[in-house]
Amino acid sequence: MRIPLDSKDLPDKWYNIVPDLEFPLPPPMTSSGYSLSERDLESLSPDSIIEQEFEKNKREILIPREVRECYSLWRPTPLFRAERLEKILATPARIFYKYEGGGFSVSHEANTAVAQAYYASSEGAKRVVTATGSGEWGVSLAVACNYFNIKCRVYMVRSSYEGKVYGRYLMEILGAEVLPSPSDKTLAGKKVLSQDSQSPGSLSIALSEAFEDAYSDDSAKFCWGSVMNHVLLHQTVVGLEARRQMQRANAHPDVLIAAIGGGSAFGGLVFPFYPDRSQGIKRLAVETTASPSLSKGQYTYDYADAGGLSLMLKMYTLGHGFVQPGIRAGGMRYHGISPIISLLYREKQIEAKTYMQREAFEAGIIFARTEGLVPSLECSYAVKAALDEALACKERKEHKNILFVLDANSNFDLDTYKDFVEGSIEDQPFLEEHVRVALERLPRAMAE
Amino acid sequence: MRIPLDSKDLPDKWYNIVPDLEFPLPPPMTSSGYSLSERDLESLSPDSIIEQEFEKNKREILIPREVRECYSLWRPTPLFRAERLEKILATPARIFYKYEGGGFSVSHEANTAVAQAYYASSEGAKRVVTATGSGEWGVSLAVACNYFNIKCRVYMVRSSYEGKVYGRYLMEILGAEVLPSPSDKTLAGKKVLSQDSQSPGSLSIALSEAFEDAYSDDSAKFCWGSVMNHVLLHQTVVGLEARRQMQRANAHPDVLIAAIGGGSAFGGLVFPFYPDRSQGIKRLAVETTASPSLSKGQYTYDYADAGGLSLMLKMYTLGHGFVQPGIRAGGMRYHGISPIISLLYREKQIEAKTYMQREAFEAGIIFARTEGLVPSLECSYAVKAALDEALACKERKEHKNILFVLDANSNFDLDTYKDFVEGSIEDQPFLEEHVRVALERLPRAMAE
């Protein structure tokens, strides 16, 4: 059952959670350990983005007309009740999902991409630069750059560049310049290549390269795909719409679920329900066992990128040098988690749970065969958690309303599902040793 | 600009064009040349489908509640005005497109898939069987079969099975059984393999196999992906919605455009505007130069499948044995065209135009970079025709309204676009000799 929303209900403001936080949000720091000023970000980000990043007072931020016009191309997105799934599980729970994968881009990431491309373009930048793992984020930004007539350069993790070819093709078809990272275009890339000419790269390395690129060109701005406050701010359109749709379905959510990599899908769904917290909503962030930043990380200041080029954030982190096992869900492999979400976890406002990739993909296939939609690999973790919550409701005879975000479709992931169906996907153990080594290399002065 | 439609405006009836035709529609014949009766189709199709196939009087057919509930998962679909494209072309024309690729399935083919799966299931069939080229149709049917708890077997053209792997993966992920055709499961397949063990297959051969499979199992029904009257009937939801949306945009369409393979996308868009024909609407079917059934075919009775197992249809055909050149747009390679559309073309109610694949893909990329959506290869032909119409309006300073259907997204086609961007796609010449040979093998007794 689809619970639609009229065009006129497209939000005209983003929701800024920061003024509503009951706990002080630790500020970002420069990479050398000083308090980060707005000026420190000037060469990296458009002024409007910097202002949003530091906004502590306004609960609502007006969405520019140009951005809202873009949103209206695919928003409001539908919210579905998964009645076939409920029936198969024989659960008294009601399962809802907000679907972000049917728009022009393949995922929710377009929500911030069009905003960032707009601000960069309107403030005179000629080019934006970013880093991407499996390509969803890069694709969203490539689409957005075409809308605002601005060039797009993407540093793509080399293992994804060579493996997940569809994301790369799509960015190139859309006119973006895609470079495999580590590349020989930047000092950061060259440094990695000098140590390991066959380096598969990582999102943290690609970020270092993109930062360096943006710093070295006055006409270029860097775009963040996740983690930062302003990205999660833009993503709140997802939860704002979902909140109205749940009201329309006369269903107060008892459990909110999203998969978490850096936090943009989670924050986008969950933050707009934060003012309802007196109503005892469970908020569940679902991690992959192989990269459990919240569940196994340390709450401390760490670099956003491998080379420590940009800034430090207080967050749950596995260490900026953490080498992830080769799991398939590229979007869940970042070493840290959004500072706001990290704070909420620290203050026990949210919960975290991990799953192995095989159990997640199995849930993804159950969902695909009942609902007709194949979730992205990342979303399959959220699906697994939703199934488990629904089964727990069955056990306890509880009539809960479960809401999760299906933030992307499976365009880039069909080969992984095929490998799973054919039995060639192995689970990846949690590499405790890797985490220990990476955490030892945290910026010492800043550790708690 | 998106021109939405409320949920309540989802059509509750399909439009049957047959009673409105001004010219007698030649009936289907058995493969041995006798007039085909409803009973002849009983072992192949559900009764409700047979009734719809032969319906000559009712202009409106009620959409069953169960099918409408499925439609409501992704319908009404949006209609867009391509303002960025108009601006780049500097045309006074307004360009609109109906987008069918954002739903659960990847294309418009879900519109008939859910109807056919519903009727088969509700009349007691345990299994449906079909033939697919590049996989879009098979994927739609696989999704629909899950909705109605019925099994799905798909004969997939071997060259696509081995090449266009994503379509195959998706069907298998969705739980369908996919067999490469020619297979050794049927006499028709074995016959082809005995002549050429390396046969790449064709849609006509896959159809023969699927027909044979359905004939030999009382609990199985065959599902048609295109060509037949009932398929085009189900597709009219597209045009019915588009008609309302154009009214809402206060734009009377002057040109209607769709790519044509068997005719389901074209019929779906164009038929519901047929009652407006006094208003001088140009209706343009866009073919690939490599498989120009309307433009270069013969209007005569021909078999629907390579083996001549099922029935004969009066249609524009290149001959059921036509061997298509290796063009990429698999959906445009069928040898014939829907009998209704063939009749309309014969009576000069519609026009046809051909394009080479490179010019189509180039148009597809222009569209992707302005509108943000990468069209399927098939749709890129419609895009090319829309661009040319818009440029002609510029030349002639005409303020026309151009409407085309973007009936699928590019999920399965990104590798072709990548090859095109990299310069490794060649145009395929029109193979006059192949057409001549194929037309010589038409069922002689029936030829005009």
Look at B372 and A73 and tell me if their CB atoms are within 8 Å. Answer: yes
Please tell me if residue B374 touches chain A, with a CB cutoff of 8 Å: yes
- B447: confidence class by pLDDT, cuts 50, 70, 90: very low
Number of CB atoms found within 10 A of residue B33's CB: 12
In b/e form, how buried is each residue of A233-262, taking b as 16+ CB within 10 angstroms? Answer: bbbbbbbbbbbbbbeebebebbbbbbbbbb
Q: Please give the Cα distance from B145 to B235 (Å, whole number).
A: 18
Does residue B430 have a pLDDT over 60? Answer: yes
By CA distance, what is A144's nearest residue in B? Answer: B372
Closest Cα in chain A to B361: A173
Q: Does A173 touch chain B (CB under 8 A)?
A: yes
Distance CA A253, CA A251 (A): 6
* Whole-number pLDDT of residue B444: 62
Residue ranges of domains in chain B, CATH in brackets: 38-64+109-222 (3.40.50.1100), 76-106+229-424 (3.40.50.1100)
CB atoms within 10 A of CB B216: 11
A vs B, Cβ pairs < 8 A, gives: 95
Q: Which of B6, B69, B369 sits opposite A175 (nearest CB)?
A: B369
Of A37, A242, A261, residue with least CA distance to A157: A261
**CA-wise closest residue to A160 among A147, A149, A173, A169:** A169
Cβ atoms of residues B171 and B138 within 8 Å: yes
For residue B123, the Cα-to-chain-centroid distance in whole angstroms is: 25
The residues in A 393-422 lying below 8 A from B, measured between CB atoms, are: 411, 414-415, 417-418, 421
Reported as a single tens digit per residue, the pLDDT across B147-165 is 999 999 999 999 889 876 7
Judged by a CB distance cut-off of 8 A, whether residue A216 touches chain B is: no
Compute CA distances B353 → B192, B263, B344, B389, whole Å.
33, 14, 15, 12
Selection from A89, A90, A108 nearest residue A383 by Cα:
A89
Contact A415 B174 (CB under 8 A): no
For CA atoms B269, B272, B277, B280, the dihedral sign is negative
Cβ separation of A173 and B414 shorter than 8 Å?
yes
Task: State how far Cα B323 lies from the chain centre.
Answer: 19
pLDDT band at B94, cuts 50/70/90?
A: very high
Q: So what's the pLDDT on residue A203?
A: 87
Name every chain B residue with its beta carbon within 8 A of the beta carbon of A248: none
Q: Which of A434-438, B13-17, B41-45 has the highest mean pLDDT?
A: B13-17
What is the number of alpha carbons within 13 Å of residue B347 lying toward its C-beta? 13
Question: In whole angstroms, what is the distance from residue A169 CA to residue A378 CA?
Answer: 20
B180 beta partners:
B156
* N residues, chain A: 448
Amino acid at B60: E
Q: Which residues of B touch A2 (CB under 8 A)?
A: 7, 72-74
Task: Give the pLDDT band (50/70/90) at residue B445.
Answer: very low
| Per-residue confidence (pLDDT) for residue A442, from 0 to 100 | 78
Closest among B77, B73, B75, B86 to B366, alpha carbons compared: B86
CB contacts, 8 Å: A84 with chain B: 147
Predicted confidence (pLDDT) per residue in B242-255, tens digit: 999 999 999 999 99
Classify A320 as helix, strand or coil. Answer: coil
DSSP state of A445: G
- A173 and B418 within 8 Å at the Cβ level: the answer is yes
User: Do the beta carbons of residue B46 and residue B124 sit within 8 Å?
Assistant: no
Give the chain B residue whose CA is nearest to the CA of A174: B369
> Average pLDDT, whole number, for chain A?
91
Mean pLDDT of all residues belonging to chain B: 91
pLDDT the model gives residue B243: 97
Predicted pLDDT of residue B408 = 79
CA A322 to chain centre: 18
Range B92-102 average pLDDT: 94
Taking only the tens place, the pLDDT of each residue in B397-422 is: 999 999 999 987 777 778 888 888 88
> CB-based contacts of B379: which residues, under 8 Å, 6+ apart?
B259, B364, B405, B406, B407, B408
Q: What are phi and psi of B327, to 5 degrees?
A: -75, 160
CA A416/CA B376 separation, integer angstroms: 22
Write down the pLDDT at residue A107. Answer: 86
How much is the pLDDT for B99? 94
Contact A172 B418 (CB under 8 A): yes
Q: How far is A148 from chain B (nearest CA, A)?
A: 10
User: Which residue out of A66, A71, A73 would a mutagenesis test of the B interface target, given it has the greatest number of B Cβ atoms within 10 Å?
Assistant: A73
Q: A96 forms bridges with which residues in the sheet?
A: A81, A403
CA angle A415, A420, A426 (to 5 degrees): 115
Helices (H) and strands (E) in chain A, counts: 17, 16
CB atoms within 10 A of CB B362: 18
Contact A290, A431 (CB under 8 A): yes
CB contact A67 to B (< 8 Å):
no
Nearest to A418 among B173, B370, B421 (CB): B173
Q: What is the pLDDT of residues A329-383, one digit of tens each?
A: 777 778 899 999 999 999 999 999 999 999 999 999 999 999 988 898 999 999 9
Contact list in B for residue A373 (CB cut-off 8 A) is 104
Q: What is the ipTM score, two decimals? A: 0.90
**Could you give the 3-state DSSP secondary structure of residue A388?**
helix
Chain B: closest CA distance from residue A151 (Å): 12
CA A229 to chain B, closest CA, distance in angstroms equals 26
pLDDT tens digits along B324-355: 766 777 777 788 999 999 999 999 999 999 99
Map residue A184 onto helix, strand or coil. Answer: coil
- Most A-contacting residue of B136, B414, B415, B424 (CB-CB within 10 A), to test interface: B414
A263 Cα to chain B: minimum distance (Å)? 25
CA nearest neighbour of A301 among A288, A320, A285: A320
Interface probe, candidates B99, B118, B369, chain A, greatest A C-beta count within 10 A = B369
Question: Which among A143, A174, A374 has the least Cβ separation from residue B170?
Answer: A374
Alpha carbon of residue A226 to chain centroid: 5
Q: Which residues pair with B351 in a beta bridge?
A: B284
In angstroms, the CA B267 to CA A383 distance is 38
Q: Which of residues 309-368 of A touch B (CB under 8 A)?
A: 365, 368
Contacts (Cβ under 8 Å, ≥6 apart) of B195: none
Contacts of A418 in chain B (CB under 8 A): 165, 169, 172-173
Q: Percent of chain B beyond pLDDT 90?
A: 71
- Interface probe, candidates A170, A245, A369, chain B, greatest B C-beta count within 10 A: A369
Predicted local distance difference test score (pLDDT) of residue B277: 73
What residue of B is the nearest CA neighbor of A165?
B415
HSE-CB of B245 using CA atoms within 13 angstroms:
30
Predicted pLDDT of residue A444? 62
Contact criterion met (CB < 8 Å) for A173 and B368: yes
Q: What is the pLDDT of residue B361?
A: 93
| Phi and psi, residue B369, nearest 5° | -80, -15
What are the chain B neighbours of A368 within 8 Å (beta carbons)? 173-174
pLDDT-derived band at B18 (thresholds 50, 70, 90) equals very high
CA distance A189 to chain B (A): 26
Residue A24 is classified by DSSP as P
What region does B369 belong to: left with phi over 0, alpha with psi -120 to 50, or beta? alpha
Q: What is the pLDDT of residue A97?
A: 97
Q: Which residues of chain A have pLDDT under 70?
A: 105, 164, 325-326, 444-448
pLDDT of residue B107: 86
pTM of the prediction? 0.93
Nearest to A235 by CA among A270, A276, A282, A286: A270
Q: What is the pLDDT of residue B183?
A: 96
CA distance, residue A143 to nearest chain B CA (Å): 5
